[in-house]
């Protein structure tokens, strides 16, 4: 799976950050820099290189997910999808809709609802890393557990590894309001989580409401 590289420290960044801290202590305000998966560095004030001051580097956690209690089962479905006609694959709470022409060739598509084993609503789509000629629609249903409003679908890059990252897929409410939808350009691991979380400079991430 692809991952996003971190921001390296530099002598110039250290000096710039020191100036920001000094300005804050002097009553000149502070900078709140955020790394967005889609737009890069943004926030109040100028975007400065270098690490965040320690006071702005917390909390470091993944977004709030949709908890599953008492389940351990993984639901797996595999379908041969024709490139010319497309098709649908459904597994548990998740559904993939592959439009005609999205695949280069006829392909066996596997969808796994791993919510039971993960402990929160999540899925995996295979072949891992498969890319498409046009986007594929992922639908995730969890309205029986949580109101989908305020949530989004995240792509989990490198799950379970030290460089695991959660990337916002900019989701929409499903047509029946029971969950979320997101357009995929490749297969990976996906999970709904509280919207507003974003990678932050020098740390895995935070919810903006925690600032």
Q: Show the tokens assigned to 82.
A: 């024709």
Q: Quick check: 60 pLDDT over 50?
A: no
Return the pLDDT at 164: 86
- What average pLDDT score do residues 24-51 get? 36
Confidence of residue 199 (pLDDT cuts 50, 70, 90): low
Domains annotated on the chain, with CATH: 1-56 (no CATH), 75-197 (2.60.220.30)
Average pLDDT, the chain: 74
CA-CA-CA-CA torsion for 11, 33, 170, 210, nearest 10 degrees?
A: 130
- What average pLDDT score do residues 104-109 get? 97
- What average pLDDT score do residues 38-46 get? 32
Residues 6+ apart with CB under 8 A from 186: 129, 130, 131, 132
The lowest-confidence range among 55-59, 120-124, 131-135, 164-168 is 55-59
Q: Which residue has the higher pLDDT, 158 or 81?
A: 81
Return the pLDDT at 163: 84
One-letter-per-residue 3-state SS of the chain: CCCCCCCCCCHHHHHHHHHHHHHHHCCCCCCEEEEECCCEEEEECCCCCCCCCHHHCCCCCCCCECECCCCCCCEEEEEEEECCCEEEEEECCEEEEECCCCCCCCEEEEEEECHHHHCECCEEEECCCCEEEEEEEEEEECCCCCCCCCEEEEEEECCCCCCCEEEECCCEECCCCCEEEEEEEECCEEEEEECCEEEECCEEEEEHHHC
Q: Quick check: 185 pLDDT over 50?
A: yes
Residue 78, strand partner residues: 110
Return the pLDDT at 156: 92
Q: Quick check: 18 pLDDT over 70?
A: no
Residues 6+ apart with CB under 8 A from 20: 30, 31, 48, 53
């Amino acid at each position: 799976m692809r991952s996003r590289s971190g921001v390296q420290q530099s002598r110039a960044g250290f000096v710039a950050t020191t100036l920001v801290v000094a300005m804050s202590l002097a009553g000149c305000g502070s900078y709140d820099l955020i790394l967005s998966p889609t737009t890069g560095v943004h926030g109040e004030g100028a975007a400065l290189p270098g690490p965040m001051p320690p006071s702005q580097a917390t909390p470091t956690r993944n977004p709030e997910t949709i908890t599953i209690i008492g389940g351990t089962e993984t639901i797996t479905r595999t379908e041969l999808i024709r490139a010319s006609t497309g098709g649908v694959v459904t597994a548990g709470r998740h559904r993939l809709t592959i439009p005609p022409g999205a695949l280069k060739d006829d392909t066996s598509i596997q969808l796994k609802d791993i919510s039971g084993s993960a402990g929160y609503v999540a899925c995996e789509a295979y072949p891992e890393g498969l890319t498409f000629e046009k986007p594929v629609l992922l639908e995730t249903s969890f309205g029986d557990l949580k109101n989908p409003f305020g949530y989004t679908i995240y792509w989990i890059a490198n799950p379970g590894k030290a460089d695991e990252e959660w990337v916002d897929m900019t989701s929409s409410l499903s047509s029946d309001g029971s969950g979320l939808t997101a357009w995929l350009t490749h297969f990976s691991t996906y999970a709904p989580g509280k919207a507003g979380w974003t990678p932050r400079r020098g740390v895995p991430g935070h919810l903006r409401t925690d600032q």
